[in-house]
Amino acid sequence: MAELTPKQKEVMDSFINEKPKILVASGAKRAGKTFVFILLFLMHIAKYEGQGLSFIIGGATQASIRRNILDDMEAILGKELKLNKSNAVTIFGNKVYCFDGAQSDSWKKARGFTAAGALLNEGTALHDMFVKEVISRCSYKGARILIDTNPENPAHSVKKDYIDNDGQTLANGRLNIKAFNFILFDNIFLDSEYVESIVASTPSGMFTDRDIHGLWVSAEGVIYKDFKKDVHYISQEQFENVRHKIVKWFAGVDWGYEHFGSIVVLGKTSDGTIYLVEEHAAQHEEIDYWVDIAKGIKSRYGNILFYCDSARPEHVRRFRREKIKALNADKKVVAGIEEVGRLYKLKKFFIVRDAIKRFDDEIYMYVWNEKTGEPVKLWDDVQDAIRYGIYTETRPQNRKGE
């Protein structure tokens, strides 16, 4: 049996002794939530060995189920888990069905099932109706449900419907819901240098509260809390001294007419430091204007990539007709902000002060909307162009080893 962290032992004790119907592990990324749940889920399936019952694993996508659950499960079982055509696999003589649960119609996959247990991975990435359907399908005697999740907005259904009901009992006195909070430091098996580097690179404010301390906090106030003019602004002359280190140029594009449209030019060094060297921002300009700007950039930096807002496909097509290498940007808002914020925190993103104007107006006005958990859509135009450029170029899946 694997050695457990003290927090994982607490969770296991609760599972074995208190026997909650629904057990929730909420908290920081990499804190050891999924690992202990995989063990508990296998223990639970083993109790019904050879009975041919159904169990459910739910995750956002089949790929995330493979990455987060099945790979670790294979390592624990010491055997390969190959899904059949209906995405099921036999474990201890029972059928375990893997369902992707992110879409509004995902719940239909679990319809009609009678399951003896479920493991739901990354609860906030699942559709609420899917979570509720799976729970209601777990009607076999002694069925148990395990939900692991990262924190998000405190208004999220995973928080309100389960975590906030920690300790709730059923009419017969049985514990219905038990919830545990994990922090990054609970995982004592992580290398201390690795933990230190995560702490050092996690943006201050909401991201640190959620990703390190596992807290369900809403986003509030200024978005880039680590941005400081005396750190992140550099002069043209300072930039000229490091210009030779740039290994790749690229651009970010946010279309706008009533709002400002914006194109920024970014340069990246081999160690991943990024410099913003040109900002173009204007209101009430037609696409011809932006084509001219892009052609000017191409003449100065070569045939570079332009990561574009995909909301105006006709503009992206026009760029391509003009022989500008336009690609649709990855527009994931919170993940993109986290990536740009990470670079500010690490002091790996610098802005040439003489090259910008609108950026300086925006940077402290760019704030979270507490209700939606997304930025207020004002003072965001150059910020969006930067985010499209940086996130599409450097998003974690492009980084080796993540």
Ligand X SMILES: Nc1ncnc2c1ncn2[C@@H]1O[C@H](COP(=O)(O)OP(=O)(O)O)[C@@H](O)[C@H]1O
Residues of this chain that interact with ligand X (CB under 6 A) are 2-5, 8, 29-35, 72, 148, 182, 187, 189
Residue 4 touches which of ligand X, Mg ion, none (Cβ within 5-8 Å per kind): ligand X
As a whole number of angstroms, the distance between CA 401 and CA 395 comes to 12
Choose one: 29-37, 79-87, 298-306, 393-401; the region binding Mg ion (CB under 5 A): 29-37
- To which H or E segment does residue 12 belong? helix 6-13
For ligand X, the closer CB: 31 or 340: 31
Choose one: 7-15, 26-34, 213-221, 316-324; the region binding Mg ion (CB under 5 A): 26-34
CB of 68 to ligand X, least distance (A): 7
Helices (H), 110-174: 128-137, 157
Binding status of residue 106 toward Mg ion by CB under 5 A: no
As a whole number of angstroms, the distance between CA 232 and CA 349 comes to 7
Asked whether the beta carbons of 117 and 44 are under 8 A apart, the reply is yes
Two tokens at 145? 């449900």
CB of 38 to ligand X, least distance (A): 8
Choose one: 33-41, 43-51, 246-254, 286-294; the region binding Mg ion (CB under 5 A): 33-41
As a whole number of angstroms, the distance between CA 73 and CA 80 comes to 9
What backbone torsions phi and psi does residue 236 show, to the nearest 5 degrees?
-55, -40
CB of 68 to Mg ion, least distance (A): 5
Count of residues in contact with Mg ion, rule CB under 5 A:
1
Binding status of residue 5 toward Mg ion by CB under 5 A: no
Residue 210 touches which of Mg ion, ligand X, none (Cβ within 5-8 Å per kind): none
CB of 76 to ligand X, least distance (A): 9
For ligand X, the closer CB: 198 or 327: 198
Q: What is the DSSP string of 239-268?
A: HHHHGGGEEEEEEEEE--SSSPEEEEEEEE
Asked whether the beta carbons of 165 and 178 are under 8 A apart, the reply is no
**How wide is the angle at C-alpha 339 spanned by C-alphas 336 and 340, nearest 5°?**
90
As a whole number of angstroms, the distance between CA 326 and CA 4 comes to 49
CB of 60 to ligand X, least distance (A): 13
Binding status of residue 153 toward Mg ion by CB under 5 A: no
For Mg ion, the closer CB: 64 or 168: 64
Comparing CA positions, the residue from 295, 292, 293, 287 lying closest to residue 315 is 287
Residue 224 touches which of ligand X, Mg ion, none (Cβ within 5-8 Å per kind): none
For ligand X, the closer CB: 194 or 364: 194
CB of 333 to ligand X, least distance (A): 22
What backbone torsions phi and psi does residue 35 show, to the nearest 5 degrees?
-55, -50
- To which H or E segment does residue 146 belong? strand 144-149
Buried-state track 370-385, b at ≥16 Cβ within 10 A, e below 16: eeebebeeebbbbbbb
The residue number with the shortest CB distance to Mg ion is 34
For ligand X, the closer CB: 3 or 271: 3
Residue 230 touches which of ligand X, Mg ion, none (Cβ within 5-8 Å per kind): none
CB of 35 to ligand X, least distance (A): 3
Sign of the Cα pseudo-torsion (120, 123, 127, 133, in order): positive
Residue 31 touches which of ligand X, Mg ion, none (Cβ within 5-8 Å per kind): ligand X
CB of 295 to ligand X, least distance (A): 46
Asked whether the beta carbons of 54 and 116 are under 8 A apart, the reply is yes
Residue 72 touches which of Mg ion, ligand X, none (Cβ within 5-8 Å per kind): ligand X
Please pick, from the candidates 8, 26, 34, 392, the single residue that binds Mg ion as defined by CB under 5 A.
Answer: 34
Number of neighbours of residue 400 by Cβ within 10 angstroms: 4
CB of 213 to ligand X, least distance (A): 13
For ligand X, the closer CB: 6 or 112: 6
As a whole number of angstroms, the distance between CA 178 and CA 24 comes to 6
Q: Interface residues with Mg ion (CB under 5 A)?
A: 34
